[in-house]
Amino acid sequence: MTEKAKKQIEEIYHQVIARNPGENEFHQAVKEVLDSLGPVLVKYPHYAEHKIIERICEPERQIIFRVPWEDDRGEIHINRGFRVEFNSALGPYKGGLRFHESVYLGVIKFLGFEQIFKNALTGLPIGGGKGGSDFNPKGKSDSEVMRFCQSFMTELSRHIGEKTDVPAGDIGVGSREIGYLFGQYKRMSNTYESGVLTGKGLAWGGSKVRKEATGYGAVYFVDEMLKARNDSFEGKTCVVSGSGNVAIYTIEKIHQLGGKVVALSDSGGVIYHEKGIDLDLVKQLKEVERRRIKDYCNYHKDAEYKPNGNVWEVPCQVAMPSATENELDGKDAETLVKNGCIAVGEGANMPTTPEGIKVFQEARIAYGPGKAANAGGVATSALEMQQNASRDSWSFSYTEERLHKIMINIHRDCLEAAQEFGASNDYVTGANIAGFKKVADAMIALGLI
């Protein structure tokens, strides 16, 4: 990289920090992308002339709103709602909603920023956005969750639409929440506009495979990384963090491809089950009964539960972080590498800290960053939008085949972009550059808007 390009990148990063004070997760996500872009500015100086990086770092629109709701005892609560419409150069804003007490503008902006490049990598016509609230559905009754969702959608409905902005789920937002949100949108708009939300139930406009897509897609991505090294999942011991939507379907696909998952977690602790995780039980506990993962041991006496345990201390060959951001730090990465881990695929968004990424890169293990590895979820959301637009419903096998091809293409595009810029086999550089170029070229074509 030239000194000039390095200086340009540093200046942009400092501007981002100054303009968005206190938003640490957003700064982290921006830095990771900017660190890859120096060689791009050298080869394609017109991106700098058009101030594309500066424009990409500034959301097109940020919406913050009050969400008042009443609990079952009649007490009133006030939460904060967010929707950051980051970039619509490639299509309507697309990205999930997160309901979790840790949500604030910096979290939604990091997620929305990641979504721009991830969505571009899918090759489908979707822009980037993200939203959510500091509301935590855990421990709330169905009626409380419904009242919250209705209040949240009453305001959000002004800003979304199948051609404008199409939200979906993320942490704390599954098919129950999407149902309540869709119901309120339908009632307020007096239209059955299926394409306004994705992740819908199969009986009311949802797509087969959307529930499975992020986990399945992440495993397909890792499978491609392994194949590129003449290896496969067959016989591999694997560890998956979390036990939510992404984790569950990551485990399912690993088992289908011949690997064995021996550990998973939730925010309370870690389960280790040497003979392999019993996924039917996890689905029952988590998807149906909404219980804590520690209850797994009530049914399997040979499984161990470690309260506040560290899932990355369990020796494995493949690790798939599928819970939340910054859940795997430099020390965890060193432990994984020391224990023989050869591949890491991120189902979660930004789960590895910058120090952890450095450890994986220096050890030259196969490391698939979230914006590439977990793109199967949003890609299948775009397939849901296609089905809604054509009033069609595809079979499971056809939809899964489309997902699989998309993940193979993303893997190839990352490798090719990395190769073009002298960073062979570096999926971080490859994903950032391949995603960036698609968005940047579209932004230039659309003029200064």
Ligand X SMILES: O=C(O)CCC(=O)C(=O)O
Ligand Y SMILES: NC(=O)C1=CN([C@@H]2O[C@H](COP(=O)(O)OP(=O)(O)OC[C@H]3O[C@@H](n4cnc5c(N)ncnc54)[C@H](O)[C@@H]3O)[C@@H](O)[C@H]2O)C=CC1
Annotated catalytic sites, by residue? 130
Residue 400 engages ligand Y in binding (rule: CB under 6 A): no
Query: Tokens in use for 127?
Result: 């822009």
Q: Was 115 annotated as part of a binding site?
A: yes
Selected from 25, 170, 266, 346, the binder of ligand X by CB under 6 A is 170
Residue closest to ligand Y (Cβ)? 244
Q: Smaller CB distance to ligand Y: residue 172 or 345?
A: 172
Query: Tokens in use for 394?
Result: 């595809």
Contacts of 446 (CB under 8 A, 6+ apart): 89
Q: Which does 95 bind (CB under 5 to 8 A by kind): ligand Y, ligand X, none?
A: ligand X
| Alpha-carbon span 153 to 155, nearest angstrom | 5
* Contact range with ligand X by CB under 6 A, out of 90-98, 236-244, 331-339, 414-422: 90-98
| Alpha-carbon span 183 to 173, nearest angstrom | 15
Chain positions 341 to 360 lying near ligand Y, rule: CB under 6 A, are 347-349
Residue 373 engages ligand Y in binding (rule: CB under 6 A): no
Q: Was 381 annotated as part of a binding site?
A: yes
Residue 198 engages ligand X in binding (rule: CB under 6 A): yes
Counting beta carbons within 10 angstroms of the beta carbon of residue 267, is it exposed (0 to 12), middle (13 to 18) or buried (19 or more)? middle
H-run or E-run covering 147: helix 142-156
In the stretch 242-281, what mask flags binding to ligand Y with x, by CB under 6 A?
A: xxxxxx-----------------xxx--------------
Q: Looking at the DSSP assignment, which residues form a beta bridge with residue 318?
A: 238, 343
- Check if the beta carbon of residue 403 is closer than 8 Å to that of residue 380: yes
Residue 300 backbone phi and psi in degrees, to 5: -130, 100
Chain positions 373 to 392 lying near ligand X, rule: CB under 6 A, are 374, 377-378, 381
Residue 171 engages ligand Y in binding (rule: CB under 6 A): yes
Q: Smaller CB distance to ligand X: residue 5 or 116?
A: 116
CA dihedral sign, ordered 375, 400, 252, 340: negative
Residue 207 engages ligand Y in binding (rule: CB under 6 A): no
Q: Was 138 annotated as part of a binding site?
A: no
DSSP letter, residue 391: T
Q: Was 143 annotated as part of a binding site?
A: no
Residue 32 engages ligand Y in binding (rule: CB under 6 A): no
Residue 425 engages ligand Y in binding (rule: CB under 6 A): no
| Alpha-carbon span 271 to 449, nearest angstrom | 50
85 Ramachandran zone, left/alpha/beta (phi>0; psi -120 to 50): beta
Q: Which does 324 bind (CB under 5 to 8 A by kind): ligand X, ligand Y, none?
A: ligand Y
Counting beta carbons within 10 angstroms of the beta carbon of residue 278, is it exposed (0 to 12), middle (13 to 18) or buried (19 or more)? middle
| CB 443, min distance to ligand X, A | 21
Selected from 32, 170, 177, 400, the binder of ligand Y by CB under 6 A is 170
* Contact range with ligand X by CB under 6 A, out of 13-21, 91-99, 138-146, 282-290: 91-99
Q: Was 245 annotated as part of a binding site?
A: yes
Q: Was 306 annotated as part of a binding site?
A: no
DSSP letter, residue 284: I
Amino acid type, 22:
G
CA 154 from chain centre, in angstroms, equals 26
| CB 249, min distance to ligand X, A | 13
In the stretch 120-139, what mask flags binding to ligand X with x, by CB under 6 A?
A: --------------------
Q: Was 4 annotated as part of a binding site?
A: no
First-last CA distance in the chain: 29
Chain positions 317 to 336 lying near ligand X, rule: CB under 6 A, are none
Selected from 129, 179, 377, 430, the binder of ligand Y by CB under 6 A is 377
| Alpha-carbon span 433 to 413, nearest angstrom | 10
* Contact range with ligand Y by CB under 6 A, out of 166-174, 188-196, 219-227, 430-438: 166-174
Query: Which residue from 226, 179, 228 is spatially nearest to 200, judged by alpha carbons?
Result: 179
| CB 130, min distance to ligand X, A | 6
| Alpha-carbon span 280 to 399, nearest angstrom | 23
Residues that bind ligand Y (CB under 6 A): 169-172, 214, 242-247, 265-267, 322-324, 327, 347-349, 374, 377
